[in-house]
Amino acid sequence: MNPRLTLYSYWRSSASYRVRMALHLKGLDFELRPVHLLRDGGQQFTPNYRKLNAQQLVPTLVHGELVLGQSLAIIEYLDETFPDSPLLPETPAERAWARMLAQAIACDIHPLNNLRVLGYLVEQLGASDGDRLAWYRRWTESGLESVERLLRRRREQTLFCHGKEPGLADCCLLPQVYNARRFECSLERFERIVDICDRLEALEPVQAAAPENQADAE
């Protein structure tokens, strides 16, 4: 019998959102433990959480004695440990393509616009709210433009990023678009991205993972 999965998550964290999507898409039962990134100076900085996650970030997945951070590592672990409803394609080439697209979002777009970076711009560099917004839109829109090109250049245009069912890259794309909409980025020219996200948002498992549907949503 497998031990229960426990996910430490913040409702608005896009990295946490990715893992919640993966868990729900795979139909896995899990316990969610909120970590508020703003309350009490940031609950991720408490001594107890630092013992759990050395980077003091969310998400963190606990499965028995295994403790994992980093959303992409967590999702791939879930996919290998619970192979039903796979989130990666069958062939090495297709899996590599899916990982490339996921990393284009998680490694190239998200790090420039996460809470730590936006906070540093304002608190340490004196950026105004307008400067912060311009920064966010600049790097998000240019990053999504690259993702749109990658999706359009695929030989086969599928319902989702890399198949007929949602997968790894979709778990990265929708949370990024969710945040882009929060910051009122211009998405009109990203027709392929918007089309995929519309399909994703219509799915019940994806709706269950949405930020506004979390117990810690504010």
* Domain total in the chain: 2
Same domain assignment for residues 40 and 123: no
What lies within 8 Å, CB to CB, of 152 at 6+ separation is 192
Q: 89: Cβ–Cβ under 8 A, 6 or more apart, which residues?
A: 95, 97, 98, 162, 163, 167
Q: The whole model's pTM is what?
A: 0.96
State whether residue 69 is helix, strand or coil. Answer: strand
- Does 218 reside within a domain? no
pLDDT grade for 1, boundaries at 50, 70 and 90? low
Q: pLDDT tens for residues 24-67?
A: 999 999 999 999 999 999 999 999 999 999 999 999 999 999 99
The verdict on 65 and 136 lying in the same domain is no
CB 148 within 8 A of CB 193: yes
Strand partners, 163: 160
pLDDT value of residue 36: 96
CATH number at residue 43: 3.40.30.10
58 and 144 housed in the same domain = no
Same structural domain, 51 and 150: no
Q: Which domain holds residue 141?
A: 92-204
Together in a domain, 118 and 157: yes
Kindly state whether residue 60 falls inside one of the protein's structural domains.
yes
Verify that 106 and 140 share a domain, yes or no: yes
Tens digit of pLDDT for each residue in 119-137? 999 999 999 999 999 999 9
